[in-house]
Amino acid sequence: MLLAKNLTKSYKELTALSDVNLSIEKGELYGMLGPNGAGKTTTISILSSLLKPDNGEIFYEGKNLYQNLAECKKLIGVVPQEIALYDDLSATENLKFWGTLYGIKGKNLQKKSDELLEFLGLADRKNHKIKTYSGGMKRRINIAAALLHDPKIVFMDEPTVGIDPQSRNLIFEVIEELHSRGLTMIYTTHYMEEAERLCDRIGIIDEGKIIAEGSLDELKTNSSIKEEIHLKYSNPNKNKLDQLTDRYKGQLLLNEDHLILSSSQANAELPELIQLCSKSELLLDKVDIRSLSLESIFLELTGKSLRD
């Protein structure tokens, strides 16, 4: 469906993308997982022709994007990270505006807009102004706007940022339904749980490079880490954590009330870890060993947390 070769983009001296290659199959839901500033939006902007790369080539269904721009653009839908809606217009009026830009008119536009509002669970609010909508509802209308022209591939740039867990779930359900209908999607996120739940294949991106790619199982199998030790504590004493951070450099994620240690042999590492926690005056509430998550894989590959 989509092939991108050697995409490179710099903003003055900053290299935002460096030799990015992507091959996305029809019907695939591909997740691009990376921290803020990794290059996700730049990639999507380039793939959807909003931004020209310095180097590289892009093909949709075998056709070069820039040599077949109008034809390729019909295939593409984009859900931008920033909500692109008029606050003083209703949902229907906003969709009418976007539909007209795509060249959809009259009854067709009305029908498509009603169908999408129904699909996104917003039919009963369709005549209300966008400014009365919650953040999650606005995000759903943002998705509807990208689907009006029946694209074959949709780019979703962090579509759940800044919304509550319930609205996030509604968006996941919409994405899962679109996936089951065979729509090809590229989904960017810095939440590993989203990539784990939704995506067939995940590309981990950092500092403008795709540093690992595969299904969740493949990424786990290729990692030297096998498990995670999760340790919950009630009294983090920030001044006393040096021994822990020194001993487990590049293996340890320290949060407000818990730590996660990536490990190839959790049972063998546990006694020393508990001893060091005791020396660091951490009062332990709970210890458990879990299977590997993308967070640890990211830590292993980059030496830093996804949420830094």
Ligand X SMILES: Nc1ncnc2c1ncn2[C@@H]1O[C@H](COP(=O)(O)OP(=O)(O)OP(=O)(O)O)[C@@H](O)[C@H]1O
Nearer to ligand X, 20 or 116 (CB): 20
Q: Tell me the number of residues near ligand X by CB under 6 A.
A: 12
| Touching ligand X, residues 257-276 (CB under 6 A) | none
Q: List own/partner pairs for 262-270 with CB under 8 A and 24 or more apart.
A: 262/225, 262/227, 262/228, 262/292, 262/296, 262/299, 262/300, 263/225, 263/226, 263/227, 263/228, 263/229, 264/224, 264/225, 264/226, 264/227, 265/226, 265/227, 266/226, 266/227, 266/228, 266/229, 269/229, 270/229
Per-residue burial over 135-151, b if 16 or more Cβ lie within 10 Å, else e, is ebbbbbbbbbbbbbbeb
Q: Check residue 94 for interaction with ligand X (CB under 6 A).
A: no
Find all residues with CB under 8 Å of 194, minimum gap 6, and list them. 31, 160, 172, 187
Nearer to ligand X, 16 or 210 (CB): 16
Closest CA to 200 of 42, 23, 39, 20: 23
| Touching ligand X, residues 169-198 (CB under 6 A) | 190
| Touching ligand X, residues 19-58 (CB under 6 A) | 34, 36-42
Residue 174 Cβ vs ligand X, minimum distance, rounded to whole Å: 21
Q: Check residue 120 for interaction with ligand X (CB under 6 A).
A: no
What residues are paired with 4 via a beta bridge? 22, 58
Distance from C-alpha of 208 to C-alpha of 203, rounded to nearest angstrom = 12
Nearer to ligand X, 54 or 281 (CB): 54
Nearer to ligand X, 290 or 304 (CB): 304
Q: Check residue 80 for interaction with ligand X (CB under 6 A).
A: no
Residue 218 Cβ vs ligand X, minimum distance, rounded to whole Å: 23
Which part of the chain contacts ligand X (CB under 6 A), choosing from 10-18, 91-99, 114-122, 126-134? 10-18
- Kindly state the tokens that stand for 50: 């909003």
Residue 205 Cβ vs ligand X, minimum distance, rounded to whole Å: 7
Residue 143 Cβ vs ligand X, minimum distance, rounded to whole Å: 18
Which part of the chain contacts ligand X (CB under 6 A), choosing from 9-17, 67-75, 101-109, 164-172? 9-17
Which part of the chain contacts ligand X (CB under 6 A), choosing from 11-19, 84-92, 216-224, 292-300? 11-19
Residue 138 Cβ vs ligand X, minimum distance, rounded to whole Å: 18
What residues are paired with 54 via a beta bridge? none
Q: How far is CA 283 from CA 46, 237, 254, 307, in A?
A: 49, 10, 14, 25
- Kindly state the tokens that stand for 118: 């129904």
Nearer to ligand X, 205 or 261 (CB): 205
Q: Check residue 203 for interaction with ligand X (CB under 6 A).
A: no
Task: Give the interface with ligand X as residue ranges (CB under 6 A).
Answer: 11, 14, 16, 34, 36-42, 190
